Amino acid sequence: MMQDLVTHATEHGHSTGTRTETFDLAAWPARPSPTMGNASELARVVLPQGRALWRGGKAAMERALVNLVGNALKYSTTGPIVVDVVRVDNRIRLTVSDQGREIAPDDIEHIFEEFERGTLATVDGGTGLGLTSVKGQVEEQGGSVHIHSVVGQGTIATVALPALVHEFATA
């Protein structure tokens, strides 16, 4: 909870000043957050095959991915968490899909607001700042983030980013 507050305070209202670099969006972040769970929980994460080079703020995008995967692990106790990256025209689409508890339809439109937690969220120590932070990090990179959730099927978080590097290959 404290880390959510520190991250939010650091990013709120101004650019995080993330250094621009070329990196592989399909690679797992170098330092996954310990709040994401133990090794057996992280083993449920299915990463894309191949490479998806992108130029932008690596630290910001790693934080966004760790947050999205962490939420999927937290709210989906079984089944895989699937991370996928594809190029569609001039955009890169990164998705994190789970088969867990859905987000209520009335909550979707407010889920990115500060301190907003879905009505189906458990009492888990969350602050309601994680998705707010993800939205800010993604928008700072010229992208957008959307959540689609279906009762009984789970949730898909989709990040769309400008395709700033031409090398993009998946196996």
pLDDT of residue 33: 66
**Burial letters for 96-131: b for 16+ Cβ neighbours within 10 Å, e otherwise?**
bbbbbbbbeeebbeebbeeeebbeebeeeebbbbbb
Which domain range does residue 116 map to? 2-12+21-169
Q: Distance of alpha carbon 1 from its chain centroid, rounded?
A: 17
Average pLDDT over residues 27-46: 75
* Complete DSSP assignment for 76-91: --SS-EEEEEEEETTE
Indicate the pTM of the whole model: 0.80
Widest CA span of the chain, in angstroms?
44
Return the higher-pLDDT residue of 116 and 60: 60
User: pLDDT > 70: what percent of the chain?
Assistant: 73
- Report residue 14's pLDDT band, with 50, 70 and 90 as the boundaries: very low
The residues that bridge with 161 in the sheet, in sequence order, are 92
CB-based contacts of 148, cutoff 8 Å, min separation 6:
155, 156, 158
Q: How many CA atoms lie within 13 A of 139 on its CB side?
A: 13
CB-based contacts of 147, cutoff 8 Å, min separation 6:
103, 108, 111, 131, 155, 156, 157, 158
What's the number of domains the chain is made of? 1
- Kindly report the CA angle at 148 between 23 and 104, in degrees rounded to 5? 135
User: What does the pLDDT look like over 67-92, one tens digit per residue?
Assistant: 999 889 888 888 999 999 998 888 99
pLDDT of residue 61: 92
155 pLDDT exceeds 70? yes
What SS3 state is found at 163? coil
Average pLDDT over residues 141-156: 92
Task: For residue 64, give the CATH number of its domain.
Answer: 3.30.565.10
User: What does the pLDDT look like over 84-122, one tens digit per residue?
Assistant: 999 888 899 999 999 987 887 888 887 877 766 665 565
Terminal C-alpha separation, the chain: 38
pLDDT of residue 119: 59
CB atoms within 10 A of CB 56: 23
167 pLDDT exceeds 70? no
